[in-house]
Amino acid sequence: MEHRKIHSFPEGFLWGAATAAYQVEGAYREDGKGLSNQDILNGTNAFHDTAVTADFYHRYKEDIALMGEMGLKSFRFSVAWTRIYPDGKTLNRKGIEFYDDIINELLKYNIEPMVTIYHFDHPYELQKAYGGWYSDCMIEDYLRFARTCFEEFGDRVKYWLTICEQNNIVLYPDLIGGYLEDVDIDTWRMQVTRVMSLCSAKAINMCHEIIKDAKIGASYSFPPSYPASSSPDDVLAAMNENDFRDFYGMDLVYRARQNPWVIRYYEERGIDIRLTEEDMEILRSCRPDFIAYNYYRTNVAKGCPLESGQIQPGFNLTGKKGSITYPVFPGLYQGTGNAALEKSDWDWTIDPEGLRISLRMLYDRYAVPVMIVENGLGAYDQVEDGKVHDPYRIEYLKKHVEQLQLAVCDGIEVWGYYVWSFVDVMSTSNGYNKRYGLVYVDRTDSSPKELKRICKDSYYWYQELLKVNGNILDRRE
Ligand code: BG6
């Protein structure tokens, strides 16, 4: 659809940037913090650990000053569960003080805080005690943590996200999920999806009871799947990918509905995923204010016969194009590349129009306002003469913001857009090789060096964008 009239972003639009606790804070054992599953996991992989990362714990004032200088409207950050409940059960006031300080510092610069309650890092003690998200016990522990966040920060924090990317958490169980080796992977995935959806629904209700003027939703990863060709087989495969990977879990929280063909698929494999009436009642009671998602790329699916061997999705761990592992789910879909699109060095397609497409899909399906809470480009950045020139990132962001504005022209109610990330954070799969920040953090995987901050060219570009409230398309009215 081409527009004759270009509409502006609404006043008060939340132009933001984001980070997540374990990827940015460091100080992983300070002031009573307990260890999380991510502290344990990243302590043993090849890239990095969580001990220092960007050291936001000690440098948040410097970083927030840079946000202020930029004119950032909103900062999305997550609360480390293990700072507030180090073992999942016992309150640590030092943790609350830290987030109090961050929130107060943001408000000093008129930056709207958006809090993600859970972003991949739960207490390792809960993982050991009962297997983390695989157990229903997690619901009570998560809600205790959520209640504390609402009660302590709710006087100043009005935008909340319950859980970040529950669909990716189950898709990449080893990387961010806390997978249990002795449990069948499909059973694990569907039970974790159930537990997390119930947590989101209950936390949304709890938030509305405690903070009367709060807005809350869950956030997902949403790379829409395109058919590899116009063959109906591929079209169906793309529908399967969207339904199984993304819509199934979103539907639980946003429609209180269990997709019948997802139920049937698992039933044929001896797994009964039907929720109880009690579970459905909880989901039916939930009234999210908006749906949030992280948008980086799109996927492509082609038909996949039942006899194929299953392959779980993998990551490109090298930063050399061509080394990603596409998933094969027999009888559903198999992933493949997209020759029509450019790719990042990590094989993620670069698809600005996919952002508009995904907005249309979600707004159409759920009929609630939408927030893009992560969008950005992971790249190798270089310091030259004390500067970081990243035209590729500016190009990526600019094209996505243009498509966002076209979505506004389409009539979609979008409330916010957050660049991932404000400062360089430790990438989930690639440490400090793959950088996303608007602000460079001078460190490598093997050495934290001085952790000096250098504003990249993209930082100054975003600063200019904010001055015109994101309205970068020609005004033709
Ligand atoms: C999102 C996550 O899925 O993708 C972030 O919410 C993550 O935590 C981001 O950093 C980019 O992924 P990666 O693997 O490149 O760090």
pLDDT exceeds cutoff 80 at 90: yes
The answer to whether position 477 is within a domain reads no
In a domain, 1, yes or no: no
Domain ranges, residue 88: 14-467
Does residue 127 lie in a domain region?
Answer: yes
Provide the domain count of the chain.
1
The stretch 390-413 carries a mean pLDDT of 97
Per-residue buried b or exposed e for 255-294, using 16+ beta carbons within 10 Å of the residue's own CB: ebebbeebbebbeeeeeebebeeebeebbeebebbbbbbb
Looking from the CA of 347 toward its CB, the CA atoms found within 13 Å total: 22
* pLDDT at residue 48 greater than cutoff 80: no
Query: What is the reported pLDDT for 477?
Result: 44
Nearest atom in ligand 1 to the alpha carbon of residue 165 is 6
Spatial distance between the Cα atoms of 219 and 204, rounded to a whole number of angstroms: 12
For residue 159, being part of any structural domain is answered with: yes
Q: How far is the CA of 23 from the centre of ligand 1 (A)?
A: 9
CA of 175 to the centre of ligand 1 (A): 11
Q: How far apart are CA 335 and CA 303, in angstroms?
A: 9
Give the nearest ligand 1 atom to 427 CA.
16
The answer to whether residue 476 scores a pLDDT higher than 50 is: no
Distance between CA atoms of residues 98 and 169, nearest Å = 27
Q: Which of 117, 295, 374 to mutate to test the pocket of ligand 1 (most atoms within 8 A of CB)?
A: 374
Residue at 474 is within a domain: no
Residue 265's pLDDT is what? 96
Q: Which residues are catalytic?
A: 165, 374
**pLDDT at residue 475 above 60?**
no
* 296 CA closest ligand 1 atom index: 4
Pocket of ligand 1 (CB under 6 A): 20, 23, 164-165, 168, 221, 294, 374, 378, 420, 427-430, 434
Ligand 1 midpoint to CA 20 (Å): 9
- Answer whether residue 45 shows pLDDT above 80: no
Mutation pick for ligand 1 pocket among 41, 42, 175, 294 (CB with most ligand atoms within 8 Å) = 294
CATH, residue 63: 3.20.20.80
- Per DSSP, what are the bridge partners of residue 420? 18
* pLDDT tens string 272-284: 999 999 999 999 9
How many CB atoms are closer than 10 A to CB 429?
17
pLDDT of residue 181 exceeding 90, the answer is no
Nearest CA to ligand 1 atom 1: 294
Domain assignment present for 8: no
The whole-number pLDDT of residue 446 equals 86
Mean pLDDT of 225-240: 98
Q: How far is the CA of 295 from the centre of ligand 1 (A)?
A: 10
Tell me, in angstroms, the distance from the centre of ligand 1 to residue 230's CA: 31
Which pLDDT belongs to residue 46? 56
- The mean of the pLDDT values for the chain is 95
191-225: string of b/e by CB count within 10 Å (b at 16+)? bbbbbbbbbbbbbbbbbbeebeebbbbbbbbbbbb
Pocket test for ligand 1, best of 245, 418, 428 (most atoms within 8 A of CB): 428
Q: Which pLDDT band, with edges at 50, 70 and 90, does 84 fall under? A: very high
Residue 420 pLDDT exceeds 70: yes
Residue position matching structure tokens 């930056």: 111
pLDDT computed for residue 112 by the predictor: 98
Instruction: Indicate if the pLDDT at residue 47 is higher than 80.
Output: no
Nearest Cα residue to atom 15 of ligand 1: 427
**Of ligand 1's atoms, which has the minimum distance to the CA of residue 20?**
8
In a domain, 475, yes or no: no
Has residue 114 got a pLDDT over 80? yes
- Can you give the pLDDT at residue 42? 86
Average pLDDT of span 392-402:
98
378 alpha carbon – ligand 1 mean position (Å): 9
Question: Which atom of ligand 1 lies at the shortest distance from residue 425's CA?
Answer: 10
Does 356 have pLDDT greater than 90?
yes
Atom 16 of ligand 1, nearest CA residue: 427
Q: How far is the CA of 296 from the centre of ligand 1 (A)?
A: 9
136-175 tens-digit pLDDT: 999 999 999 999 999 999 999 999 999 999 999 999 988 8
Higher-confidence residue: 195 or 45?
Answer: 195
The model's pTM:
0.97
pLDDT at residue 53 is higher than 70: yes
Q: Is residue 164 part of a domain?
A: yes
